[in-house]
Structures are given as structure tokens and as C-alpha cells.
């Protein structure tokens, strides 16, 4: 897991359509290639979830591993947006204006119902060849 030490890693659900759109957003806006991506269905993604106290079999949290620390839910989203800079940094600031005790339950509800609301793929999202270096596993 050397990539975990060198770059922040976003663990995502590879069969979730909403999560795949989030990955597309990261790939489009992270022009410097800061983030690495790991599907929770892969060996590394599963290991990162377990190492940070999250269940890989029932993931209702988004995980960002940065500098060895795990961040979940809306704190993780805000940290990702911050790192993207520009208007995304402003979006992170706006997100943080909402108290965590209000924003995290909304996020968790959405995460629990993501397949029903947005759909589910039959297999894990595969990277385009030119983006494969961004993915772990």
C-alpha cells in the first residue's frame, strides 16, 4: 500500500452508479493527479476500510485516507473538495457551515439508499487505460 503513503486514497463502491460519478468528478477536476482511487471490492480498498474501522461488506461511509489518517462521511467529502481548490474549496467551506450532526445523517441516509436511488452496476467500474495509474488494485 505504498500509494497510500504517497497520495491520498479515496475508497469508493465500484458497483454504485453514484460512486462512479463521484470518481468521474475526481478524475475530471483533480488535474494534478493528487488522489488515488481504490474500489472497496478490491483487496486494497477492503483493507483500507477494515484498517479504519469501516465494514467493507456494509459500507455506509465514504473513506478518504490521507497521511495515514482516515476521514469519513461529509468530512471526507469536504477534504477532497478542499484539495481540488478553486470553487470546490468554496463548496467545502459551505458544506462545513452545516453542523456535522446534521450533514452526516443526511449523507448516511443517501449512502444506505444509493443503489435504489441511483442504480447499481453488474460489475466494478473499470478505469480507462489512460487513467489506470490513478487506481489501486
Summarised one tens digit per residue, pLDDT across range 97-119 is 999 999 999 999 998 999 899 99
Residue 110 lies in a domain: yes
Residue 109 lies in a domain: yes
Residue 136 lies in a domain: no
User: Residues, the chain, total?
Assistant: 137
C-alpha cell, 32: 494534478
The pTM is what? 0.89
* DSSP-derived 3-state class of residue 38: strand
Residue 137 lies in a domain: no
Residue 115 lies in a domain: yes
Q: Quote the mean pLDDT of the chain.
A: 89
Residue 31 sits in which domain range? 2-129
Contact predicate 81/89, CB 8 Å: yes
Residue 31 lies in a domain: yes
Phi/psi of residue 80, nearest 5 degrees:
-65, -50
Q: Compute the distance between CA of residue 110 and CA of residue 82 in angstroms, rounded to an integer.
A: 22
Q: Within a 10 A sphere around the Cβ of 82, how many other Cβ atoms?
A: 16
Q: What is the pLDDT of residues 56-91, one digit of tens each?
A: 887 677 899 999 899 999 999 999 999 999 999 999
Residue 135 lies in a domain: no
Report the domain count for the chain. 1
The enclosing domain of 86 has a CATH number of 3.40.30
Does the pLDDT of residue 20 top 60, yes or no? yes
Residue 65 lies in a domain: yes
Amino acid at each position: 500500500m505504498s500509494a497510500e503513503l504517497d497520495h491520498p486514497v479515496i475508497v469508493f463502491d465500484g458497483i454504485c452508479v453514484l460512486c462512479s460519478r463521484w470518481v468521474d468528478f475526481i478524475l475530471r477536476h483533480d488535474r494534478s493527479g493528487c488522489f488515488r482511487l481504490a474500489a472497496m471490492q478490491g483487496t486494497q480498498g477492503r483493507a483500507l476500510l477494515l484498517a479504519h474501522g469501516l465494514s467493507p461488506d456494509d459500507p455506509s461511509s465514504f473513506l478518504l485516507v490521507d497521511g495515514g489518517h482516515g476521514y469519513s462521511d461529509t468530512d471526507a467529502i469536504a477534504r477532497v473538495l478542499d484539495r481540488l481548490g478553486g470553487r470546490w474549496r468554496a463548496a467545502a467551506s459551505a458544506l462545513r457551515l452545516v453542523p456535522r450532526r446534521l450533514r452526516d445523517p443526511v449523507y448516511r441516509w443517501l449512502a444506505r439508499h444509493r443503489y435504489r436511488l441511483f442504480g447499481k452496476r453488474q460489475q466494478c467500474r473499470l478505469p480507462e487505460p489512460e487513467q489506470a495509474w490513478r487506481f489501486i488494485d
